[in-house]
Amino acid sequence: MSAIDRHRARYTPEQLERLPPGQVITEKWPILTAGPNPRIDLATWNFRLSGRMEGEFSVSWEEFGALPRVKVTTDMHCVTRWSRIGTTWEGVAIREILKRVKLLPDARFAVAHSHGGYTTNLPLADLLDDEVLLADTNDGEPLSIDHGGPMRLVVPKLYAWKSAKWCREIEFLTDDRPGFWENYGYHNHGDPWKEERMWRD
């Protein structure tokens, strides 16, 4: 029996139902960042949409805070095999933001860009999932800098490397463009239920 299976043997059926294959439950919230935290100044902070769309969307920190808000309780799965089960994010739904521009019919993919240079790509259809949000709060606390504060993208249905911390821009594309980890061999899509971990699994 593998170490992973030994952990999983202790879980309740309810826990196992929510736990994708090959994952174990973590009680603590690990910090996973490639490189140093970026420096972010709220006075100049800005989030924008770009690429294959009509209109413009760009908000200051104050304007972001005035957008209609949502609360999403969901799970978080890291490809390094930990899952956080049942955590609540608060922020602004991507769908809410997308009401404010008009995507062109050829927009099929998105790339999230972070302060500090990290990027990650996903199909537009996954970004449009109703659980996807730009979160500034987790379990009632403002998001710390380590966890992507002041604001990060959260895409619960894909491995957490798709949930770009310190998100500053979402770009809409016609043709897919792999991001940081996708270029290092992580799976282009990253569905935890299908164990889409590495590109050539």
Q: What are phi and psi of 154, to 5 degrees?
A: -130, 120
CB distance 142 to 149 below 8 Å: yes
Looking at the Cβ atoms of 103 and 143, the one nearer to ligand MTE is 143
The torsion angle over the Cα atoms of residues 98, 193, 118 and 137, rounded to 10 degrees, is 60
The closest alpha carbon to 77, from 154, 131, 145, belongs to: 154
Least spacing, CB of residue 171 vs ligand MTE, in Å = 15
How far is residue 165's CA from residue 117's CA, in Å, rounded to a whole number? 11
Considering the rule CB under 6 A, would residue 198 count as an interface residue with ligand MTE? no
| Among positions 47, 89, 109, 166, the unique one binding ligand MTE when judged by CB under 6 A | 166
Considering the rule CB under 6 A, would residue 101 count as an interface residue with ligand MTE? no
Looking at the Cβ atoms of 64 and 161, the one nearer to Mo ion is 161
Considering the rule CB under 6 A, would residue 87 count as an interface residue with ligand MTE? no
Please give the biggest Cα pair distance in the chain. Answer: 55
Considering the rule CB under 5 A, would residue 125 count as an interface residue with Mo ion? no
| Among positions 19, 114, 136, 154, the unique one binding ligand MTE when judged by CB under 6 A | 114
Considering the rule CB under 6 A, would residue 34 count as an interface residue with ligand MTE? yes
Q: Phi/psi class of residue 181: alpha, beta or left (left: φ > 0; alpha: ψ in -120 to 50)?
A: alpha
Considering the rule CB under 6 A, would residue 165 count as an interface residue with ligand MTE? yes
Least spacing, CB of residue 135 vs ligand MTE, in Å = 10
Q: Phi/psi class of residue 91: alpha, beta or left (left: φ > 0; alpha: ψ in -120 to 50)?
A: left
Q: Identify which range of 10-18, 23-31, 88-96, 122-130 contacts ligand MTE by CB under 6 A.
A: 23-31
Q: Identity (one letter) of the amino acid at 193?
A: W
Q: Give the binding site for Mo ion (CB under 5 A).
A: 32, 78, 160-161
